[in-house]
Amino acid sequence: MKSGFVAILGMPNVGKSTLLNAILKEKVSIVSPKPQTTRNKILGIYNDADSQIAFIDTPGIHTSHNKLDEYMEKAINSAKNDVDVLLYVIDGTKKINTNVIDNLNKYSQGIKNIILIVNKIDDTTYEKLYPELAKCNSLENVKDIIPVSALKGKNIDEVIKVIKKYLHDEIKYFDDDVYTDKSIKFLVAEIIREKALWLLQDELPHGLAVEITSFKEGGTLCEINADIITEKSSHKQIIIGKNGIMLKNIGTKARIDIEKLVGQKVMLQLFVKVRENWRESGSSVRAYGYNDQDL
């Protein structure tokens, strides 16, 4: 029996959350084309016959501009404390520049076992990928380099196999049926935010949050009310859409995933609220689930 903790770090949109979901075969981190989709430090627990690995997904490494960004920076630094392995994920379709290397060196300090994950190999060719992989061979402290396609599930088994080389604990920290430390309400809010990000895409900036205001589970029906929080009044109508069609589509797509999560029928009611510049306010950031005390 081997067990241990693994942090997943990298720049925005390199596929960290997709990688975690592929490893777990469960959806614990939402994904979208927008940078900084992941805002919290999210724990996902992998179990097999001879191991238990606790993965910690993190927000993308970026420059802080507001209180929410500051929280995400703290989440990244908190995640790499006392881990056995660091998975540093890069985008295999892009060139490895000094920014990538500098961030790898900065955030890997003090960690002995670093595995470089080169993701999105399904979107590139060997001829383009090979010169970039050659650059990685000279990176300090990197023990292994693994090309993967998290989206297609390619080489995920190899990632698990290599991680196990660096695990030395011999106890289980979590029950076998636990795959995340996040509550159902947290996961529901994230599902709603994910659907909004996908459907709104270029129409809306990043300033969306979701607050679950009511959650009632019954014998056959789960009733949920939630507020979608936006920073500007002009964005409210965009989220609602003409004749309410956008908000209805967000709710319809979210409800499908939520029903899979809770295992019963769901009645979901969504509302849109304006909280101007909420990302600049420490109290608002904490109120919407981004609390330093949880890190």
Q: Which of 43, 38, 32 is nearest to 60 (CA)?
A: 38
What structural domains does the chain harbor? 2-164 (3.40.50.300), 184-294 (3.30.300.20)
Distances from the Cα of 69 to the Cα of 42, 45, 187, 272, 274, angstroms: 16, 26, 21, 23, 20
Report whether pLDDT(46) > 90: yes
CB within 8 A of 111, min separation 6: which ones?
Answer: 7, 80, 83, 85, 86, 141
**pLDDT-based confidence at 205, cuts 50/70/90?**
low
Q: Quick one: DSSP state of residue 13?
A: T
Calculate mean pLDDT across residues 140-159: 93
285-290, Cβ contacts within 8 angstroms, sequence gap of 24 or more: 285/67, 285/68, 285/71, 287/211, 288/209, 288/210, 288/211, 288/229, 289/40, 289/186, 289/189, 289/209, 289/211, 290/39, 290/40, 290/68, 290/71, 290/72
Please, what is the average pLDDT of the chain? 91
First vs last C-alpha separation in the chain: 28
For 82-127, write each residue's pLDDT tens digit: 899 999 999 999 988 888 888 888 888 889 899 999 999 999 988 8
CB within 8 A of 148, min separation 6: which ones?
Answer: 19, 117, 118, 119, 121, 154, 155, 156, 158, 159
Residue with more model confidence, 136 or 40:
40
Distances from the Cα of 276 to the Cα of 43, 181, 234, angstroms: 31, 31, 11
So what's the pLDDT on residue 150? 96
Calculate mean pLDDT across residues 226-252: 95
For 173-201, write each residue's pLDDT tens digit: 999 888 998 999 999 999 999 999 999 97
Residue with more model confidence, 129 or 158:
158
Q: Which of 75, 81, 51, 48 is nearest to 62 (CA)?
A: 75
Calculate mean pLDDT across residues 197-219: 86
Report whether pLDDT(157) > 80: yes
Alpha carbon of residue 223 to chain centroid? 26
Residue with more model confidence, 51 or 205:
51
The percent of residues above 90 in pLDDT, for the chain, comes to: 63
State how far the Cα of 131 lies from the Cα of 126, in Å rounded to an integer.
9
- Total-model pTM: 0.90
**pLDDT-based confidence at 265, cuts 50/70/90?**
very high
Calculate mean pLDDT across residues 58-65: 85
